[in-house]
Amino acid sequence: MTARWLAAFAVVLALAGPALAVNPDEELADPALEARARELSKELRCVVCQNQTIDDSDAGIAKDLRLLVRERIVAGDTDDEVMSYLTDRYGDFVRLRPPFNAETFALWAMPVLVLLAALAAAVTYLRRRPKPAPADAALSADEEAQLQAVLDERRKT
């Protein structure tokens, strides 16, 4: 019985696609314009969710952005004009892949800087740690005498 449930669950998971938050009342009647809107929506970040596209987000601002994109497309704007309009209004943050410029330099450089800092910390740690003594190092005369004293005491007991 459990094998059937597992199989049914696997089928349901296989059939489940990504859930899009676009409501039917938001879609444009013209399929070509709707396709353009969907492509643009894949490039735009929900400013509330921050890690989702506006198509994937259920937030109110995401719905407003979806409607705004469709409004601008119907008005005759090109894709670049729509993106420019939205970045002028919301900043580069609204783009999932912000452009490389002076304002976003830190955003793009941060992963490299963190990696370099981690490498520098690792090198510093490895250089400062105490070096282990070689396995074949000879004992000093004092160490030899102490060892002999310990061995002699053990033999007596």
> What is the Cβ-side half-sphere exposure of residue 149, based on CA atoms within 13 angstroms?
6
Instruction: Let me know if residue 114 belongs to a domain.
Output: yes
Asked which of 67, 94, 121 is the last residue of a domain, the reply is 94
CATH number for the domain spanning 73: value is 1.10.8.640
Percent of the chain with pLDDT over 90: 29
User: pLDDT (tens digit, 9 = 90+) per residue, 76-102?
Assistant: 989 999 999 999 998 888 888 877 878
Instruction: Let me know if residue 135 belongs to a domain.
Output: no
Residues 113 and 61 in one domain: no
pTM above 0.95, yes or no: no
- The total of structural domains in the chain comes to 2
Q: What per-residue confidence (pLDDT) applies to 17?
A: 46
* Segments forming the whole domain that contains residue 123: 101-129
